[in-house]
């Protein structure tokens, strides 16, 4: 078994070594393919060496030509929101002021209308239409109140009208026709009939835009009886003159603020763009290889992001100059090393052919050695497999022997258990016989007692019959005694029946006991025969166990011999494996040597390429102006 496991381990090791060899060959092929790609790339660079540089110049030119300047963007971002915000503020202010003025004027003329109505309502009495078409409030003539409403209108700069019955009763205007034209009667009529107040912020009164408010006049102590309407109007233009002045002043202020913001934005944008322009100019110089750039103190001392950017660019240029100086020095050393490497590669190339011949001879010898070792290894493997098969059969035989020993032990235990059961059964049968004998004795006693009871019952029945005869002979006085005698007779009959039943059961019990005694005797005979058979079986298994012990010794002896043969085959396999390993190592050495020669060839090519690259790198470094 051990030889089989070791063989599989060696096979895995051999496969792993083969896999490593194949991986190395693949890596060499990949390296050669990469070298070929490098050669093709270098050939392309030789054909068109300025191709990459031209592309970079195109990209740099496209980046330098911007469609719009940063200054324009900053000004647009700063000015446009300010202008839009100023316009929005002016519109909101003018709209709010206009609405506030409209609301205040309507409130004022509404108050004037209420004042006129209050003045009329101070007169006691109801509103009454006169015979001449006029209107009276008690004793007060509404149509004659021109002076009253003029005084109120002149104080507030408004016109007042009182409409009733589709006609203007009184107004601050002199001409009634003009009054009727000033405020259409149909509107007043509609408002009166609808019993609602009328208001407007832009109503045309005699061609003049006016504020108008009409308040409905009701009869006293009534909300349904409409008398007419008091209408008050005010000129819009005169009322909004002051508001327009405020709006004009506000607009001028907003324009001035916007202009100031624009000027401030231009100044800030100029400062930003000057710093950005300085940074862009320096970046353009660095992009073209010019590292002699100047940074002004104003730009470097800025505390904003532009200052951070220019400081970072300053540090970058300084570090680039240091790095490029070191790179130029290293490129010079690289050129010397590349020349030395090229000379060494030339010398090494001359020895490669000789090494290749020696490698060919080593490879052929290793192949022959490997084939011979492989044949021997296969024969040893077959022998080892046969030993393993024999060992497995011996193991199976040993397992069978162990099973037989285990079964023999189990049979011994079973025999001992059967002996114990037979002994226990004998004791039980003996005890049962004793109990049956006791039962028979008790049954015989009970039978005798039953016979005595039957005898007593016969005597009692005879006595009861005699008592009945005596009772009959005595007559009426012995009647009760006759009844008792009859009862005694019945008891005697019942006792006779019971004693008969007991006697029958005792007879049945005695028959069963006798039958049981006979069965017990038969069981004793069977147990005796079983004891004899158990003794014979025990003797047979003793003989079997002796044979198993002898066979066990033989099996162990065979196992030891097979183990020695397995160890010998293992030693032979180890020797053969060592021969195969030596052959593989020789093949690997030849392969490695071939790889070394290939690497030396690649090294020769790479040395020439390094020399070319170092020259190109030197030319590239010369682009930078320190």
pLDDT for 174 equals 67
The Cα 536–Cα 543 span in angstroms is: 11
Q: Are residues 34 and 102 in the same domain?
A: no
User: Does residue 423 belong to any structural domain of this protein?
Assistant: no
Please write down the HEC assignment for all residues of 132-183.
Answer: CCCEEECCEEHHHCHHHHHHHHHHHCCEEEEEECCEEEEECCCCHHHHHHHC
Higher pLDDT, 442 or 24: 442
Joined together, the tokens standing for residue 548 give: 């198993």
Q: Which of 204, 226, 242 is the last residue of a domain?
A: 242
pLDDT band at 59 (very low <50, low <70, confident <90, very high): very low
The pLDDT value recorded for residue 598 is 72
The pLDDT of residue 527: 75
pLDDT greater at residue 359 or residue 336? 336
- In terms of domains, do 53 and 99 share one? no
Triad 511, 512, 517: Cα angle to 5°: 100
Token output for 225: 């009886």
Are residues 110 and 52 part of one domain? Answer: no
Position 238 in a domain = yes
Average pLDDT over residues 421-433: 75
Task: Give mean pLDDT, residues 55-73.
Answer: 52
**Is 97 part of any domain?**
yes
pLDDT value at 460 more than 50: yes
Residue 122, domain member (yes or no): yes
Task: Write the DSSP string, 236-251.
Answer: HHHHTHHHHHHHHHHH
- Considering the domain architecture, whether residues 54 and 104 belong to the same structural domain is answered as no
pLDDT tens by residue, 236-279: 887 777 777 777 888 788 888 888 888 887 777 777 677 777 77
Same domain, 29 and 118: no
Residues 43 and 105 in one domain: no
Choose between 601 and 114: higher pLDDT. 114
The two beta strands, 135-137 and 167-171, are unpaired
Query: How far is the C-alpha of 185 from the C-alpha of 164, rounded, in Å?
Result: 9
- Per-residue tokens: 84: 């839009």
Task: Assess whether 47 and 190 both reside in one domain.
Answer: no
Statement: residue 353 has pLDDT above 60: yes
245: CB partners within 8 A, 6+ apart = none
Give the whole-angstrom CA distance, residue 379 versus residue 128. 150
Phi, psi of 201, deg, nearest 5: -95, -5
Question: Taking a C-beta distance cutoff of 8 angstroms, is the pair 468, 482 a contact?
Answer: yes
User: In which domain, by residue range, is 56 found?
Assistant: 13-60
> Which helix or strand (DSSP H or E) is residue 229 part of?
strand 226-235
In a domain, 42, yes or no: yes
CATH number of the structural domain spanning residue 178: 3.30.450.20
| Same domain flag for 20 and 147 | no
Least confident of 37-51, 284-298, 436-450: 37-51
Three-state DSSP state, 211: strand
626 in any annotated domain: no
Least confident of 39-48, 238-247, 435-444, 516-525: 39-48
**Residue whose token pair is 């070791």:** 6
Q: Cα dihedral sign for 370, 376, 378, 380?
A: negative
Residue 207 and residue 100 share a domain = yes
pLDDT at 172: 83
Reply yes or no on whether the pLDDT at 407 is more than 80. Answer: no
Higher pLDDT among residues 107 and 78, named by residue: 107
Tokens (6 digits) for 98: 């206009």
Task: Give the whole-number percent of the chain exceeding pLDDT 90.
Answer: 0
Over residues 570-586, the mean pLDDT reads 70
Per-residue model confidence as pLDDT tens digits over 510-522: 777 777 777 777 7
pLDDT of res. 421: 78
Residue 299 in any domain: the answer is no
Q: Check: CB of residue 193 under 8 Å from CB of residue 163.
A: no
Is residue 513 a contact partner of residue 436, using CB atoms and an 8 Å limit? yes
Rounded to whole angstroms, the Cα distance separating 617 from 620 reads 5
Indicate the residue among 242, 271, 306 that finishes a domain. 242
Q: How confident is the model at residue 376 (pLDDT cuts 50, 70, 90)?
A: low
- pLDDT class for 307, splitting at 50, 70, 90? confident
The whole-number average pLDDT for the span 496-522 is 76
| Whole-number average pLDDT of the chain | 72
Bridge partners of residue 215, in order along the sequence:
230
Mean pLDDT of 91-112: 86
Final residue in a domain of this structure, among 197, 218, 242: 242
Pair (19, 117) in one structural domain? no
Number of domains in the chain: 2
The reply to whether 179 and 113 lie within a common domain is yes
Residue 47 lies in a domain: yes
| Residue 106 sits in the same domain as residue 223 | yes
């Amino acid at each position: 078994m051990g030889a089989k496991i070791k063989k599989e381990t060696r096979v895995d090791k051999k496969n792993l070594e083969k896999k490593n060899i194949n991986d190395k060959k693949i890596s060499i092929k990949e390296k050669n393919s990469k070298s070929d790609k490098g050669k093709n790339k270098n050939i392309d660079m030789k054909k068109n060496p300025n191709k990459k540089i031209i592309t970079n110049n195109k990209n740099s030119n496209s980046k330098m030509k911007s469609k719009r300047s940063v200054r324009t963007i900053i000004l647009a971002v700063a000015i446009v929101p300010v202008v839009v915000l100023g316009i929005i503020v002016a519109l909101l202010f003018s709209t709010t002021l206009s609405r506030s003025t409209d609301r205040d004027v309507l409130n004022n003329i509404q108050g004037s209308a209420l004042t006129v109505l209050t003045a009329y309502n101070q007169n006691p009495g109801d509103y009454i239409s006169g015979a001449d078409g006029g209107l009276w409030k008690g004793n007060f003539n509404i149509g004659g109140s021109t002076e009253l409403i003029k005084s109120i209108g002149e104080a507030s700069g408004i016109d007042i009208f009182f409409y009733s019955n589709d006609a203007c009763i009184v107004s601050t205007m002199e001409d009634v026709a003009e009054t009727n034209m000033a405020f259409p009667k149909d509107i007043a009529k509609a408002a009166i009939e609808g019993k609602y107040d009328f208001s407007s912020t832009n109503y045309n009164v005699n061609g003049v835009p006016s504020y108008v408010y009409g308040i409905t006049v009701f009869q006293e102590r009534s909300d349904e009886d409409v008398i007419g309407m008091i209408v008050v109007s005010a000129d819009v233009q005169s009322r909004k003159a002051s508001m327009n002045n405020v709006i004009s002043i506000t607009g001028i202020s907003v324009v001035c603020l916007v202009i100031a913001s624009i000027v401030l934005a231009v100044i800030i944008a100029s400062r930003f763009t000057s710093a950005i322009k300085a940074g862009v100019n320096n970046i353009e110089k660095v992009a073209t290889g010019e590292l002699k750039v100047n940074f002004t103190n104003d730009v470097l001392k800025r505390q904003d992001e532009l200052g951070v950017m220019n400081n970072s660019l300053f540090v970058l240029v300084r570090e680039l100059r240091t790095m490029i100086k070191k790179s130029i020095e290293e490129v010079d050393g690289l050129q010397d090393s590349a020349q030395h490497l090229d000379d060494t590669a030339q010398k090494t190339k001359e020895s490669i052919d000789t090494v290749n011949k020696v490698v060919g001879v080593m490879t052929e010898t290793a192949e022959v050695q490997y084939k011979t070792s492989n044949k021997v290894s296969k024969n040893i493997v077959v022998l080892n497999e046969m030993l393993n098969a024999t060992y497995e059969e011996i193991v199976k035989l040993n397992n069978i022997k162990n099973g037989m020993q285990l079964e023999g032990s189990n049979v011994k235990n079973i025999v001992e258990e059967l002996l114990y059961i037979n002994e226990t059964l004998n004791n039980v049968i003996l005890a049962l016989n004793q109990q049956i004998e006791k039962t028979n004795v008790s049954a015989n006693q009970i039978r005798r007692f039953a016979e005595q009871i039957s005898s007593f019952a016969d005597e009692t029945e005879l006595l009861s019959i005699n008592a009945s005869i005596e009772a009959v002979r005595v007559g009426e006085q012995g009647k009760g005694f006759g009844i008792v005698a009859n009862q005694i007779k019945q008891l005697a009959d019942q006792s006779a029946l019971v004693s008969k039943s007991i006697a029958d059961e005792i007879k049945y019990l005695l028959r069963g006991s006798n039958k049981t005694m006979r069965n017990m005797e038969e069981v004793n005979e069977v147990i005796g025969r079983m004891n004899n058979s158990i003794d014979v079986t025990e003797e047979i298994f003793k003989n079997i166990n002796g044979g198993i012990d002898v066979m066990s010794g033989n099996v162990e002896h065979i196992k030891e011999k097979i183990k020695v043969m397995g160890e010998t085959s293992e030693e032979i396999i180890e020797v053969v494996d060592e021969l195969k390993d030596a052959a593989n190592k020789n093949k690997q050495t030849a392969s490695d040597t071939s790889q070394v020669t290939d690497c030396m060839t690649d090294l020769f090519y790479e040395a020439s390429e390094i020399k070319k690259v170092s020259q190109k790198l030197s030319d590239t470094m010369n682009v930078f102006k320190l």
